[in-house]
Amino acid sequence: MTDVTQYAGSATDGSASLGPSVIPAGDPRYASLLRGQNHRFVPKPDYVHIVTNTAQVIDAVNQAVSAAKRVVVRSGGHCFEDFAASPDIEVLIDLSEMNSVFYDAERRAFAIEPGSTLGHVYTVLFKRWGVTIPAGECTEVGAGGHLAGGGYGPLSRRYGSVVDYLYAVEVVVVDESGTARAVVATSEADDPHRDLWWAHTGGGGGSFGVVTRYWVRSPGATSDDPTELLPKAPSRWRTEYMMWPWDSLDEETFTKIMHNYAGWFEANSDPDSPYANLSGFFHGPGRTGAVLVGASVDDDLPDARELMAAYFEAMQKDVGVEPQTMAGPVQPWLYTVSFPGFGDLGDHMTRRFKMKAAYLRKGYTDAQISTIHKYLTSQDADPSLILIGYGGNVNKVEPAATATVQRDSIFKVMVISVWADEAEDEERLARNREFYRDIYAETGGVPVPGEVSDGAYINYPDADLADPEWNTSGVPWHTLYWKDNYPRLQEVKKRYDPRDVFRHRMSIRLPE
Ligand SMILES: Cc1cc2nc3c(=O)[nH]c(=O)nc-3n(C[C@H](O)[C@H](O)[C@H](O)COP(=O)(O)OP(=O)(O)OC[C@H]3O[C@@H](n4cnc5c(N)ncnc54)[C@H](O)[C@@H]3O)c2cc1C
d(CA 138, CA 343): 9
Residue 510 lies in a domain: no
Q: Is 92 touching ligand 1 by the criterion CB < 6 Å?
A: no
Contact call for residues 384 and 283 (beta carbons, < 8 A): yes
Q: 84 in ligand 1 pocket by Cβ < 6 Å?
A: yes
Residue 342 pLDDT level (bands cut at 50, 70, 90): very low
Q: What is the pTM of this model?
A: 0.95
Residue 271: partners with Cβ closer than 8 Å, 6 or more residues away: 392, 393, 395, 396
Q: Residue 20: what pLDDT?
A: 87
> Is residue 3 in some structural domain?
no
Looking at residue 480, what is its pLDDT? 98
Reported as a single tens digit per residue, the pLDDT across 359-407 is 999 999 999 999 999 999 998 878 999 999 999 999 999 999 999 999 9
- Domain carrying residue 355: 236-483
Q: Please check whether residues 213 and 359 belong to one and the same domain.
A: no
Q: Which long-range contacts (CB under 8 A, 24 or more apart) does 308-316 make?
A: 308/238, 308/240, 308/278, 311/264, 311/275, 311/278, 311/280, 312/240, 312/242, 314/260, 314/263, 314/264, 315/242, 315/257, 315/260, 315/261, 315/264, 316/242, 316/260
Mean model confidence pLDDT for the chain: 93
Tell me what pLDDT residue 511 has: 97
Question: Could you tell me if the CB of 323 is within 6 A of ligand 1?
Answer: no
120-133 pLDDT per residue, tens: 999 999 999 999 99
Does some domain include residue 249?
yes
Going by C-alpha positions, the residue among 224, 218, 76 that lies closest to residue 133 is 218
Same domain, 28 and 123: yes
In a domain, 405, yes or no: yes
Instruction: Assess whether the C-beta atom of 73 lies below 6 angstroms from ligand 1.
Output: yes
Assess whether 255 and 223 both reside in one domain.
no
Within a domain: residue 1? no
Reported as a single tens digit per residue, the pLDDT across 258-273 is: 999 999 999 999 999 9
For 53-92, what is each residue's pLDDT tens digit? 999 999 999 999 999 999 999 999 999 999 999 999 999 9
Tell me the sheet residues that pair with 238.
297
Q: How confident is the model at residue 1 (pLDDT cuts 50, 70, 90)?
A: very low
Q: How far apart are CA 115 and CA 96, in angstroms?
A: 4
Does some domain include residue 51? Answer: yes
Calculate how far, in angstroms, residue 426's C-alpha sits from the geometric centre of ligand 1.
24
Residue 10 pLDDT more than 80?
A: no
Residue 136 near ligand 1, beta carbon < 6 Å = yes
Cβ of residue 95 lying under 6 Å from some atom of ligand 1: yes
CATH at 146 = 3.30.465.10
Same domain? 284 vs 164: no
Looking at ligand 1, which residue's alpha carbon is closest to its atom 39?
144
Which residues 6+ apart lie within 8 Å of 267 measured at CB?
A: none
Q: Are residues 166 and 25 in the same domain?
A: yes
- pLDDT tens-digit profile of 88-113? 999 999 999 999 999 999 999 999 99
Task: Please tell me the total count of domains within the chain.
Answer: 2
What's the pLDDT at 106?
97
Of 18-32, 243-257, 442-456, which gets the smallest average pLDDT?
18-32
- CB 214 near ligand 1, within 6 Å: no
Residues 300 and 175 in one domain: no
* Residues 326, 443 share a domain: yes
Terminal alpha carbon distance of the chain:
29
The residue whose CA is least distant from atom 6 of ligand 1 is 136
Which residue, 125, 135, 142, is CA-closest to 156?
135
pLDDT band of residue 288 (cuts 50, 70, 90) is confident
The answer to whether residues 139 and 179 belong to one domain is: yes
Ligand 1 centroid vs 500 CA: distance in angstroms? 20
Q: Supply the DSSP symbol for 463.
A: G
pLDDT tens per residue, range 451-474: 999 999 999 999 999 999 999 999
For ligand 1, pick from 34, 75, 457 the residue to mutate: most ligand atoms within 8 Å of CB. 75
- CB 79 near ligand 1, within 6 Å: yes
Nearest ligand 1 atom to alpha carbon 171: 42
Residue 63 lies in a domain: yes
Ligand 1 atom showing the smallest separation from residue 114 Cα: 41
Helix (H, G, I), strand (E, B) or coil at 343: coil
Residues 259 and 406 both lie in one domain: yes
Distance in Å, CA 506 to ligand 1 centroid = 14
- For residues 321 and 424, membership in a common domain is answered with yes
Mean pLDDT over 467-487 rounds to: 98
Residue 494 in any domain: the answer is no
Which tens digits make up the pLDDT trace of 172-216? Answer: 999 999 999 999 999 999 999 999 999 999 999 999 999 999 999
Which residue from 48, 79, 412 has its CB within 8 A of the most atoms of ligand 1, so it is best to mutate?
Answer: 79
Any idea what the CATH number is for the domain that residue 448 is in? 3.40.462.20
Residue 11 pLDDT exceeds 50: no
- The pair phi, psi for residue 284, each rounded to 5°, is -110, 100
CB 416 less than 6 A from any atom of ligand 1 = no
Rounded CA gap, 104 and 110, in Å?
6
**Centre of ligand 1 from the C-alpha of residue 310, in Å:** 35
Give yes or no: residues 192 and 287 share one domain: no
Question: Do 92 and 28 share a structural domain?
Answer: yes
